[in-house]
Amino acid sequence: MARKHLFEIANTDPAPAEVQQPQPRQLERPLLGLNLTPSTPVGAISQSLEAINSRATRAEEIERKLSQGHVVVELDPATIDSAIVVDRLGVDPAQQDALVQQIRENGQLVPILVRPHPTEAGRYQLAYGHRRLSAVRKLGLQVKAVVRELSDEELVVSQGQENNSRQDLSYIERCYFALRLEERGFSRDVIMAALGVDKAALSRMIALVKRVPADIIEAIGSAPSIGRQRWAELADMLEDRAKRGRVGKLIGDSEFSSMSSDERFNAVHKLLATVKARAVPASWTAPDGTKPVSISENDRRLVLTFDKRVNPQFGAFIQQRLQALYDEFRETGLKEQ
């Protein structure tokens, strides 16, 4: 099952020790979620005021542009293309059906946001409102939209901020969205703005999602109830390539596809937690330097292979002594441990 394929800038730059401001001016941009307050406690590490001013100026410009043009118009849904970076890993069918019914009964109360298509006249690109657009399409209605001239930066920031305000994306969708934005060439500052996170948090999110193969993420989907810690556990377990193979078989099963997204995550997590790491094949070296026995082990069995080319009789000798060896084993009490 394939599922193909958010602006807070945290101020971490310390202020210079010689700059003392009893009441530092707080730079807030409500639309973007921006809050830049220089920290000036005694002994603080030097802070870059130039960087703060630069980011504040950038935020003012983006907010000014995003605040313009609130006229709602009706558009043909067929003229609207998807967002330049998709932020979702599938939509819950029951939730989407509920939205369709809501719009059928009450109409579309909240408009979507689009921009004129940069290369195709008469067409538009979606910034946010994917689920509303899909529901209106299903009902065969015109879609209510706000049309704004947006740069690529402004589009992804508004897309992410709208999702943030409604806590609309799951943890893994936010991580995946961040990675896709980076792969499209957006700067870390823009991605932080879109996701409403600081630099350290963004680095952790991108590092985590890079450790989980894309096909596994897309097969599991949004997993709305699953947070950072459990995804980190899954990433750790997937370091073993043998375990990845097991997951590949699981996600290809038709029964897996019928589960909810949270259930799919739990099924993969459970499988990985119960798979024993495979031991590296080894051999036993006799005192004379020969290796008459090779040893292999997996989660179900341990196999001793006797090489007749080294010693034709050793295997038969061990076979004849199996009863005595087993009796000796029982006497040691190892079977009870």
Same domain, 293 and 266: no
- Measure the CA–CA gap between 238 and 248, rounded to whole angstroms: 11
Domain identity same for 303 and 260 = no
Q: How far apart are CA 279 and CA 22, in angstroms?
A: 63
**Does the residue 331 lie in any domain?**
yes
31-49: per-residue pLDDT in tens? 344 444 444 444 444 444 4
Residues 294 and 330 in one domain: yes
Measured CA to CA, the distance from residue 93 to residue 99 in angstroms comes to 10
pLDDT single digits (tens) 153-177 = 888 888 887 766 555 678 999 999 8
Bigger pLDDT: 249 vs 20: 249
Quick check: is 111 in a domain? Answer: no
Tokens at 126, concatenated? 């979606």
Total count of domains within the chain: 2
Domain hosting 306: range is: 282-336
Is 86 inside a domain boundary? no
- Residues 6 or more apart in contact with residue 214 via CB below 8 angstroms: 5
Q: Of 229, 253, 277, which marks where a domain is finished?
A: 277
Task: Indicate the residue among 246, 277, 308 that finishes a domain.
Answer: 277
pLDDT > 90? residue 204: yes
The verdict on residue 220 lying in a domain is: yes
Write the pLDDT tens digit of every residue in 237-265: 888 777 777 888 888 888 898 899 999 99
**258 and 223: one domain?**
yes
Give yes or no: residues 242 and 293 share one domain: no
pLDDT, tens digit (0-9, with 9 covering 90-100), for 47-106: 444 544 554 455 455 444 444 546 788 999 999 998 888 777 767 777 788 889 999 998
